[in-house]
Each structure stands twice: as C-alpha cells, then as structure tokens.
Amino acid sequence: MYSLEEIKKHIADQANKALKKKLVSLSDLNYPPNPEMGDISLPLFKLSQELKNSPNEIASSLIGHVKADEMIASLKVIGPYLNFFLNKEYLIKNTLKEIKKTADKYGQKKAEDKKTAVLEFSNVNTHKEYHVGHLRNLCFGDSVTKIMNSAGHKAISISYVNDFGIHVAKTLWNFDEFTKDKDVENMSDNEKGYLLGKMYVDAAAKEKDDPMAKQMIGGLMSEIELKKSEAYELWQKTRQWSIKHFADIYEDLKVEFKDILYESENIERGRKIIDELVEKGVLKIDEGAVIADLKEYGLEVLVCIRSNKTAAYPVADLGLAETKSKKFKPDESIYIVDNRQELYLKQLFKILELSGHKEKLIHLSYDFVKLPSGMMSSRTGNVITYSELKKIVIEKASDEIKKRHDNWSEEEIEKVAKVVGMGAIKFEMIKVDAKNIITFDVDKALSFDGYTSSYVQYAYARIAGIFERNMKKEITIEGYDPKYLKEAVEIAIIKKMSRYPEALSKAAENYDPSEIAKYLYELAKLLNDYYHQVSIINSEEKVKESRLSLLAAIAQVIKNGFGLLGIEIVEEM
C-alpha cells in the first residue's frame, strides 16, 4: 500500500472508530481545492444523512476523537467538511522512499479484481492509406493496454486487419494503370504500402466516371474469393505490402501486438456460425438475405449475409469473436472503434449475447481526428498519411533541435528528433478525452510550450542536464532529508507525486490515458514553477542534495508515466 493510500486508510479508520460505525471509506476522502484549506478532506453530507445529525455536530465529535499523530498534523472544520493537514515530513520521507524503492514500477499495484481483457484495435484496411486518423486508434489502444497491465490486470492486445472486401478489389482494379510507369519491385515495403493507399484514392475517383467500373470491380472480388485466379495471386502479393507497411509503423511507434488476426481467416468460420444461429432462431432468412431482427431491443435490423450471398461485416466479426474467446478466454473483450460504429457494435454485442458468449463486451468509443482544414477522408485523399506525417514531424523537430544544439552531429539530431516527433504524435492522440474531436496541428504538437509531449520531455531533459552539470552520472534519489524540503512548491510537488498511483488506478478503471497525460503535464508545470521560485544548485549542500533527490523523483515519475503512453524520454533536447 502506497503512503498516501495508507494515510487515507488511517484517517478512515480513525473516523470510523470515533463514530463507532464503519461509515467512512477511502473513496469518501478527496482533496481540497486550496492547500491552505488542508491536504485531505472528508465531506460530511453523507454522514449527516446516515447519523441524522448536522455536519457541524459530526465535525465536533470527530475533532474530539481523531488526534494528531505521525501522519496527521492537525484538523480543521470548513463548512460541511472536515479537513486534515498531513505531517509533511512523513509524506515527503515515505513518498521519496517509495519512488526510490519501486523505481520503474512506482504507481503499480496488484489489482483487487484482476481480469483478463482482450483489446482489439488498429483494425486497419490493407490496400488503403494509413493516415493521421488511424493513429488515434493505435495510440489509444496501446496506451490502455499498458495502463491495464500496470494496474495489475492481464491485457492482451490484438489487431484485426480487414484484408478482404470491395476496397481491395477497387485498388487492384487500378493496379496495372497506376503502376505502369513505376519501378514497383525496387520500392521499399513502406513505399509499396504508401503506393497502395494512393492507388485506392485514385481508383475511388476514377470509378465515378467509368460506367463499367462497378461491374469490373465486382468481377475482381469474385475472382479473389475463388482463390485461384491471377487476381487472387495479386491480392496475396499486395496484401503483404500493406502488412509490412503496418509493421514498419508499429515499429516506429513502439507498438506490439500479442496477435494479429485477419478478416480473410475468419470469414469461413463466420459463415458456419451464421448457419448455426439461423438454426437456433437467433438469425432468420428474409428475401434471400440473412438478418438479425433486433427491433425488440431497440437496435433495428442488421443484415449479416446479403441476398446475393456476399458476406456483410457481422460474418467475419462473429468468427473473430469466437477465435478470441477460445484462444484467450477473456473476462472482457474490448473493441476500440470510433463512434460511427456505435449502433453496429450494439447490434453485434446483442447477437453475441443471444448466441451464448459469456465475456463482458465493451466498446471503447472515440471521436474523429481532423485537420485544421477540415475532416479527413481516405476516399477523397483529404488526409495526411502516416508516411507524410512522419517526415514532417521529424523535419520540424530536427529544425528545433538544431537551434538549441548547433554542435550536434546529424546522427544525434535525427535520433532525438525521431523520439520527439513520435512522442508528439502519440501525446496528441491521447491527451484529451476519447469523446472529444482532435484537431491535429503539427506545429502546435511540436511546441515546447503548453500541453504537449515536448513540454514534458523537456522537463525530464532539463533534470538530466542539471544532474550532468552537477557531476552526477545518474539521476538518483539519495542523501535527502525531509526537513530541507519545506518550500510550498516542494510540498505541492511531493503531494502531486504521491497521487500518481491514484492517477494510474483511475486511468485503468476508466480506460482513459488522458488521465496520465494531464497528470504529467501538471507535474511538469509544477517543476517549471520550482525552477523559477527556488535555487537548486546554488543552495547549501544538504539542501541541494535533498532538492536533487526531489528532481530525481520527478524524473522517475515522468519516465513511468510516459512509459504508459508509449513515449520515450530523452536526456537532452
């Protein structure tokens, strides 16, 4: 149990002992908005209703029985609240001790209700562009996976790739025409994947003006489904281009999947499940189509197999759900999909429920990413592709680093610029609540001021620089004495760091990485205030050692938090 949680438990136990009833729990305790009001607050409204006494009477009773001790310095009644002032030396000593002892694991703990969860994300389409909009899904899913694992759960990340369907046929319909002047065979995997995306956009535009296009594309799709034609062989070859392109992106962004599953591998099993559900009466045949009539659940009709016998989305999704259930045996199956699919996923979940699936089904929804110029569309090409974005952010980060380090080699600049650039992309994708639209602005994302990854990264790098200038080989917590850390901003930083385990628990409970991003930004802002208000290097030796230990603890928490967001730190920038 971390020190702040231990203190809160102590307060709850003391209050319950005074009340002679177990009425106060840790969740009842919160934090006053102003440090002058106290460090921990107990609202008395609920107790007033329970005990049929006024808040003032309850406060007077508690103050008479709850005494100051090594954890509690004093108590104060403010309106209907009983506020506790903590023993600052106790909090400082134990918080720094915990951070030093647990290091990279600070904030983690065993989950009381440990669960196994399969998180399905990065459900991208082969033969299409991988663009900025896809990155929100990827970064969000990866961070939720890391947060859940750090909070003591078993989170399993999988990617489900849509490698089959009409979009593939559209791209391949345009293949010969689009590639006739290009040396495709000598392109890199990344270039080939990028080329397919451009090919799809071009095909979508040409299709509108070609009266034969729809028929030809449909014919290609049928040939691919037969698995014997030249079209099928071309599908196999170009499919690998996209898969390798995705692998390069995941490597850039340090995202790993436990497994990658494909639509083409689940369609046949999905068709068998459809037949089984028709026999059970869960689905029914209507004018040659197989449908799920979910109107009685307020979910409308969902077509599973069209009247022309082609498979709609539920076919492969039902096969996938069975694969996940058998392979991983999860308590929760989490679908990370944008909010446009909300109705469809409710329909899919209802079919799975009616078919007997036992695990909890969760849709983690998120809103769109748009550019300052407006909404994006793969079909129209109004996007920034990942390849283009990567080039832009690294170039801009390099320019910024060159201004600060004109003596660095190109290799050093490129190495740091990639970390800063990738960090900027990830942070922008997860720093706000998933239900909010993101307007992705490259210049703002790479700013060293404001709510950005670069601001927090610079906070860490600045600490590393102080240690280097002070002839310290490593950023370490050592030689501190709580009595030398008494400035208001120092106390504020300690209190903030003591709450990091709570921020992690809350992020895991709500599947919300923005909790960690906001926490790190607020900690970095406090650090910036610290530099302006307090002399560190030029202070008396014992004070300096304690302040350096405080900085080292901050650096550790930033590193831990960034790890949950999938962002690397840099020692200098």
pLDDT (tens place) for every residue of the chain, 573 residues total: 899 999 999 999 999 999 999 999 999 999 999 999 999 999 999 999 988 999 988 998 898 888 899 999 999 999 999 999 999 999 999 999 999 999 999 999 888 889 999 999 999 999 988 888 899 999 999 999 999 999 999 999 999 999 988 889 999 999 988 888 888 888 987 789 888 988 998 898 888 888 888 888 888 888 888 887 899 999 999 999 999 999 999 999 999 999 999 998 999 999 999 999 999 999 999 999 999 999 999 999 999 999 988 888 999 999 999 999 999 999 999 999 999 999 999 999 999 999 999 999 999 999 988 878 665 555 445 678 888 899 999 999 999 999 989 899 999 999 999 999 999 999 999 999 999 999 988 889 999 899 999 999 999 999 999 998 887 778 899 889 999 999 999 999 999 999 999 999 999 999 999 999 999 999 999 999 999 999 999 999 999 999 999 999 999 999 999 999 999 999 998
**pLDDT attached to residue 573:** 86
**pLDDT attached to residue 509:** 96
C-alpha 123/C-alpha 9 separation (Å) is 43
Phi, psi of 154 (to 5 degrees): -110, 100
Phi, psi of 476 (to 5 degrees): -130, 150
Burial of 209 (0-12, 13-18, 19+ CB in 10 A): exposed
**pLDDT attached to residue 124:** 92
C-alpha 59/C-alpha 83 separation (Å) is 10
**pLDDT attached to residue 382:** 61
C-alpha 507/C-alpha 142 separation (Å) is 13
Query: Which residues contact residue 366 at a Cβ distance below 8 angstroms, ignoring those fewer than 6 apart?
Result: 136, 137, 140, 336, 338, 339, 434, 435
CB atoms within 10 A of CB 124: 22
User: In the chain, what are the domains?
Assistant: 3-86 (3.30.1360.70), 386-565 (1.10.730.10)
Question: Where are the alpha helices (H) located in 259-365, listed in sequence order?
Answer: 267-280, 313-328, 342-355
C-alpha 148/C-alpha 155 separation (Å) is 6
C-alpha 80/C-alpha 44 separation (Å) is 6
8 Å CB contact between 477 and 549: yes
**pLDDT attached to residue 261:** 95
**pLDDT attached to residue 513:** 98
**pLDDT attached to residue 472:** 73
C-alpha 19/C-alpha 4 separation (Å) is 23
Please state whether the predicted TM-score (pTM) of the whole model is above 0.85.
yes
Phi, psi of 184 (to 5 degrees): -60, -45
C-alpha 267/C-alpha 72 separation (Å) is 63
**pLDDT attached to residue 370:** 84
**pLDDT attached to residue 375:** 56
C-alpha 76/C-alpha 131 separation (Å) is 55
**pLDDT attached to residue 209:** 84
